[in-house]
Amino acid sequence: TQHITIAIDGFSSCGKSTLAKALAKKMNYTFIDSGAMYRCVALYAIQNGCALGAHKINLTCVVNSLPQIHIQFGEADELGNRPVLLNGEDVSHAIRQLEVANIVSEVAAIREVREFLVEQQQELGKNGGVVMDGRDIGTVVFPHAELKLFITAKPEIRAQRRFLELQAKGEINSLGEILENLKHRDRIDSTRAISPLTQAKDALVVDNSEMSETEQLEYVMNLVKNHT
């Protein structure tokens, strides 16, 4: 069978990575979480003193730190999760903190950061057989992907899902705080000058507000069948 490229884009906490992971596992493809790469740069920025509080960063500081940032993905576990390594250290948990989420969109709006990561993403996916999720995968990273999905869900449902996810990891945040962060990131991600989050013309829209993870996977597997 042909090894296609599957691009999955959409707003924050729409279940993109959950879907991407499940899809990659089912198809024996490689899953790449591009958001984790932006989160690594944001985490490094915090560690390096480039963060000036929520939603504030020192741009020059972030750009200057790029040559010191080396990102790798480890082998997938049985759920399809891949450890994320920042300069050899496992940061899979650290990059999910709200502190990182609070500056990641500002970091991702920097042209140099995007150029730095897009090049690596294209390299990781150059042989196909890849499911990559993010914001600009179908538009910028893989404009020729055979299958492009644009995932959406209602903001309140997304906040609720993220709340449960963080809670399961022992992180207690208020639902309101999470909803605020989501809306903030949605706004920055879709209005930034460089590669804003937009639906590719040839993307198929999947609204999963009312779908379970299993239903969504089934639905998407049917779309995949028509594209391979």
| Burial class (CB within 10 angstroms; exposed 0-12, middle 13-18, buried 19+) of 184 | middle
Q: Toward ligand C5P, which CB reaches closer, 34 or 220?
A: 34
Known binder of ligand: residue 40?
A: no
What is the spatial distance between Cα 25 and Cα 35, in angstroms, rounded to a whole number?
Answer: 19
* Ligand-binding site membership of 209 (annotated): no
**Contact track, ligand C5P, 39-58, x by CB under 6 A:** x-------------------
Nearest to ligand C5P of 2, 53 (CB atom): 53
Residue 108 or 149 with smaller CB distance to ligand C5P: 108
Beta carbon of residue 12, minimum distance to ligand C5P (angstroms, whole number):
5
Contacting range for ligand C5P; rule: CB under 6 A; set: 34-42, 79-87, 166-174, 203-211: 34-42
Q: Which of residues 103-132 bind ligand C5P (CB under 6 A)?
A: 104-105, 108
Question: What DSSP assignment string belongs to the chain?
Answer: ----EEEEEESTTSSHHHHHHHHHHHHT-EEEEHHHHHHHHHHHHHHTT-B-STT-B-HHHHHHHGGG--EEE----TTS---EEETTEE-TTGGGSHHHHHHHHHHHT-HHHHHHHHHHHHHHTTTS-EEEEESSIIIII-TT-SEEEEEE--HHHHHHHHHHHHHHTT----HHHHHHHHHHHHHHHHH-SSS-----TTPEEEE-TT--HHHHHHHHHHHHHTT-
> 44 or 136, CB closer to ligand C5P?
136
Is residue 16 part of an annotated ligand binding site?
yes
- Applying CB under 6 A, the span of 24-32, 35-43, 53-61, 214-222 interacting with ligand C5P comes to 35-43
Using the rule CB under 6 A, is 21 a contact of ligand C5P? Answer: no
The verdict on 10 binding ligand C5P (CB under 6 A) reads no
Known binding residues for ATP are 10-18
Chain residues that interact with ligand C5P, rule: CB under 6 A:
12, 34-35, 38-39, 104-105, 108, 134-137, 185, 189
Known binding residues are 10-18
